[in-house]
Structure 1
Amino acid sequence: MTSPRDPTVPVRALLDGWVASGRVPGYVVALRHAGTTHVLHGGTADAAGAVPVTPATVFRLSSVSKLVGAVLALALVDDGTLGLDDPVGTWLPGLASPGVLRDRLGPLDDVVPAERPVTVRHLLTGTSGWGGIWEPCPLAEAVDRAGVGPGPWAPDLDPETYVDRLAGIPLAAQPGTTWLYHVGSDLLGVVLARAAGRPVSELLRDRVTGPLGLGSTGFWAPAERLSAAWWATEDGGLRVVDTPDGRFSRPPAFESLAAGLVSTAEDVLGLLTAVADGGGGVLRPATVAEMTRDQLTPGQRAGEQEFLGAGVSWGLHVGVDVGQDPAWGGPGRWGWDGGTGTSAWVDPGRDVAAVVLTQRGMLTTEDSLEPFWRAVAAGVG
């Protein structure tokens, strides 16, 4: 009798090789294929290389937090706490009538009124007009000075200060016209808290992590469970940018659904599979279908296609493949990646959901986790 094929063989070989070469200090993978879950781990969690990574090690999710944020927001939409087409200004009056730059690379005082209000749907689809501007220009400089731009973790501001500073900066585009990254996701959490009258952490616990049994997911964790975080250096090495007793070892001032969560690989896989299996009792199946389908027109994503990646679009706060390399992606695949070295996607076509958590920040294409997904595809066949 032939033994069942182990889909993790290529994945383990790749990641153990990365640890041996020093590319990553450590990793945890959680993967479900054909109804069977596999958990792999290796390497170390601390800067001294003395603490081994285990499945219980907690990692900074960075932008993989957006997947969790999507589920929380849509759970509140499902129960009527707020609607997709509700204006953000309902809860944040200072953002009710933003100015819009005539030219997003032009002077900050050359603005026109917004043609329509920014809505919850705009925040979820990334089309609010707030977002990362990668070209040098006055708007990018203003966003950077205000501390409200994209980053690998939460803004160093309280929510009130964040909103006040954002209100002083014009939109890069008319609401609903252009996909822009990240800033609307930070704002989403503020809107949810205002709409529900409760902190984001409480909403998350009661509506998502509690019902799904995700006990290791939150905005902070005890230092003894956290890994360190590293960035690559120009000489090919790694430098520590956050220690286990650093910013994620205590409650933050800003509970960010853009990049503020920490978790384990098994918890993230639990979220993915609950959604993939119809919502896990947290979302309605019809809501899952809306969340994971392409919500953008080609025109909305045209200016940011290089950032999104070839063949990638956006659903309701998640990335969605619409025609990527069939060797490892493809239409229907959904998920997202995090700048601290994390990635979580569901590929219905291959009947696989997988999460990889590492501690090497993704600053350049050399840090990409694409080889991991090619190994997953090779393993599942």
Structure 2
Amino acid sequence: MTASAAATTAKAPQTPQLDQARPESLGLSPARLQAMSDAFKREIDKGSIPGVTVLVSRRGHIGWFEALGRQAPGSDAPMRPDSLFRIFSMTKPIVSVGIMQLVEDGYLQLDDPLQKFIPEFENTSVGVVDNGKLDLVPLNRPITIQDLLRHTSGITYDHVGDGPIHRMYRESRVRSRKITNEEHARLIAELPLVCQPGAAWNYSRSTDILGRVIEVIAGKTLGAFLTERILAPLQMTETAFHTGAENKHRLAEAFPTDPWTGDPVALFNMLEKPVMESGGGGLVSTTMDYARFCQMLLSGGTLHGTRIIGRKTLQLMASNHLEPHIPPDNYILPPGHGFGLGFAVRTEPGISPFPGSVGQFYWSGIAGTFFWIDPAEDMFAVFMSQGPGQREYFRTLVRNLVYAAVE
């Protein structure tokens, strides 16, 4: 079956053009935003990061957009507003919107079993560790599309633990950029789950599997589908699974060794076209491109009159889908938060060690990129850097500094 390639173009109320406005006209303190800029300049001067970009938008207009520091270590080239970044897991929200477009088109439902689209998952087993021995048991129920979107599938990542299944992931070829999405899905189906579907929240390769589901339904590559249905309609012309050699001078790079730990840092080559188009972490983008995606989310699924996703569908995505008995498994999902269909969702005004609003939703990338949408404040922010070891620190820092500027 083939999903419609045409993006929905039904006219909706016009959204602002993301033009620049004076911060004070948007209820943002110029002094506090300058303090934010100064804080990141201090971090750059200390050698924590080569450079960063920070974009803050409120009420449909950009109140602050700054590129600071260097684009790459060992280079005199300044960070640019149009520098290109590996956004890694910030790919996930884009792919999740793509899946929900197919739900809206009637090609799948959230409670559909994954094996309906990828039959190999019918035989997936669950690994249970008992006295150091790994036993395999059958599924209590199939993995669903909803499980994949909210990371309750039992699939995992090799870097989020050191159990026997995580080691099996590390010993497999699932990290290769030279296999197809189909081959990747088959490999994952052969590996045991870390828990029964729906039993726990485990950050995972689930969104990579959703990328393959899109390919099966749409009958085209994930990249082609995302371009036709999301990236081109939003004019995200710089966002793709690689970039051309003509953009070599715009690539943001990390330090070769982590400045805090001395560990080596190895990130993929943005100029190399991968065979696998990773729905969980493969896209390259710019700050402004991702800002357009964020404004669409903040505007209820539309940008400049083009509807990408339905308002009620997006509302469902940005709601908590973790039942009380589904605990998060690690630091990736902070206290006071749940998880929706592709986004973390703030559920409490307190508990978390950083400011925000109930209903705020966000996600980030392992190399140092981050965004959040705050409907209560009619605001979003995009932070871009390439510093894996500093990502948690900078995510908290930028939240503290931006919210200090909200008047």
Q: Match for residue 367 of structure 2? A: 340
Conserved 8 A contact 1:294-1:314: yes
Conserved 8 A contact 2:125-2:193: yes
Residues 173-212 of structure 1: pairs in structure 2 closer than 5 A? 173-212=195-234
Moved more, 130-139 or 71-80: 130-139
Closer, same or farther: CA 380–104 of 1 in aligned 2, 3 Å: farther
Which of 86, 89, 114 in structure 2 is aligned with 1:88? 114
The answer to whether residue 289 in structure 2 is matched with residue 267 in structure 1 is yes
Q: Give the root-mean-square deviation of aligned CA atoms.
A: 2.4
Closer, same or farther: CA 279–114 of 1 in aligned 2, 3 Å: same
Q: Match for residue 354 of structure 1? A: 381
Distance of 1:166 and 1:326 partners within structure 2:
35
Residues 125-144 of structure 1: pairs in structure 2 closer than 5 A? 125-132=150-157, 134-144=160-170
What fraction of aligned residue pairs are identical, expressed as a percent? 28
Closer, same or farther: CA 13–321 of 1 in aligned 2, 3 Å: same
Moved more, 229-238 or 267-276: 229-238
Closer, same or farther: CA 276–194 of 1 in aligned 2, 3 Å: same
Closer, same or farther: CA 34–234 of 1 in aligned 2, 3 Å: closer
- Number of residue equivalences: 370
Shift of residue 364 of structure 1?
7.5
Q: What is the letter of the counterpart of residue 179 of structure 1?
A: W
Closer, same or farther: CA 98–363 of 1 in aligned 2, 3 Å: farther
What's the secondary structure of 1:354's corresponding residue?
strand
Shift of residue 181 of structure 1?
0.6
The answer to whether residue 230 in structure 2 is matched with residue 230 in structure 1 is no
Alpha-carbon displacement from aligned partner over 1:91-150 (angstroms, at most 9, x marks no partner)? 211112311223489534x2221122212111101111111364432212111111437x
Conserved 8 A contact 1:339-1:363: no
Closer, same or farther: CA 240–52 of 1 in aligned 2, 3 Å: farther
Conserved 8 A contact 1:105-1:139: no
The answer to whether residue 185 in structure 2 is matched with residue 163 in structure 1 is yes
Q: Match for residue 317 of structure 2? A: 291
For normalisation by structure 2, the TM-score amounts to 0.84
Distance of 1:156 and 1:233 partners within structure 2:
27
Conserved 8 A contact 2:51-2:72: no
Conserved 8 A contact 2:180-2:275: yes
Conserved 8 A contact 2:298-2:374: no
Unaligned runs of 5+ in 2: 1-22
Alpha-carbon displacement from aligned partner over 1:277-334 (angstroms, at most 9, x marks no partner)? 11010100001100101010122124x1533111121100111111254852232110
Moved more, 247-256 or 161-170: 161-170
Q: Match for residue 317 of structure 1? A: 342
Moved more, 27-36 or 116-125: 27-36
Q: What is the letter of the counterpart of residue 161 of structure 1?
A: E
Alpha-carbon displacement from aligned partner over 1:174-218 (angstroms, at most 9, x marks no partner)? 112211112111111111111111100001001101111111111
Closer, same or farther: CA 335–232 of 1 in aligned 2, 3 Å: farther
What's the secondary structure of 1:249's corresponding residue?
coil
